[in-house]
Amino acid sequence: MQKTLLIFDIDGTLLYSNKIDSQCFAQTYTHIYGRPFPTIDWRKYPAVSDTTIFATVIRDHFERAVDPAEVVVFQEAFVQLIQEKRIAEPAEFQEVPGARTAIMKLMAMEKFVLGIGTGGWKAPAMVKLNHLDIPTTGMAMAFADGNFTREAILEESITLAKSKHDDIGRIVYVGDAIWDVETTRNMGLPFIGIRRKGDEAVLKSAGSHIVLRNFVDFDHFLLAVAEAEVPAHPS
């Protein structure tokens, strides 16, 4: 039996804390470097990857490359601030409805292999997943660490999954942002959009064929997996 590899984004897809995360990223940068962070509109950067965003701002401000040691320092401060915000503002760190249950059900189904492919660094991503008790055991997980593009992140997840499963016949990515649509279109991967606020038009206008609000109707999600297509070029 050929299996389907389902790769999930995290922020906005399995959980929502995007606004707080972005503010924490900017606040951490300003605290460490004493300069205002340019913008948290991630579309303004060459790629939506924490690695690329951080490197771009460092280059623009200081005309140099990033020192690996300073990434560690930044990540530690970033994670600490996220943890503080999580306690102070718990309502801003919530599961997209049905996400945890859906992941657990999918893990129990032999026809699926699960992966994570996110533009965030691993350390803060795992803090958020663990906070909501979303299981990740056995997942093919790839993060921004060492990856400058979304395509590279998904390629890493796919490579990891295929190294353990030689019977993967289909790959579907589940994400929430316009750059997820663009990445999957570039890679020729079927895509399912998630927009918990119900603003499906954001992704549909970018080319997504299927956009769901959440994972509450699990059978509906399974149908979406079966029917998912590579995003179209926007008209």
**Per-domain residue ranges for the chain?**
3-17+94-227, 18-91
- With CA atoms as reference, report the closest residue to 196 among 109, 99, 119: 99
pLDDT band of residue 91 (cuts 50, 70, 90) is confident
The percent of residues in the chain predicted with pLDDT above 90, rounded, is 91
The answer to whether residues 28 and 81 touch, using CB atoms and an 8 Å cutoff, is yes
Residue-level pLDDT at 90: 83
The answer to whether residues 136 and 116 touch, using CB atoms and an 8 Å cutoff, is yes
Report d(CA 154, CA 37) in Å as an integer.
Answer: 27
Q: How many CB atoms lie within 10 A of CB 202?
A: 16
Mean local confidence (pLDDT), 12-41:
94
The pTM for the full model equals 0.96
Tell me how far the alpha carbon of residue 11 is from its chain's centroid.
Answer: 5
- Condensed to tens digits (0 to 9), the pLDDT of residues 123-149 reads 999 998 998 899 999 999 999 999 999
> Regarding the domain with residue range 3-17+94-227, which homologous superfamily does it belong to in the CATH classification?
HAD superfamily/HAD-like (3.40.50.1000)
Residue-level pLDDT at 11: 93
Mean local confidence (pLDDT), 154-177:
98
The Cβ-side half-sphere exposure at 143, using a 13 Å CA radius, reads 13
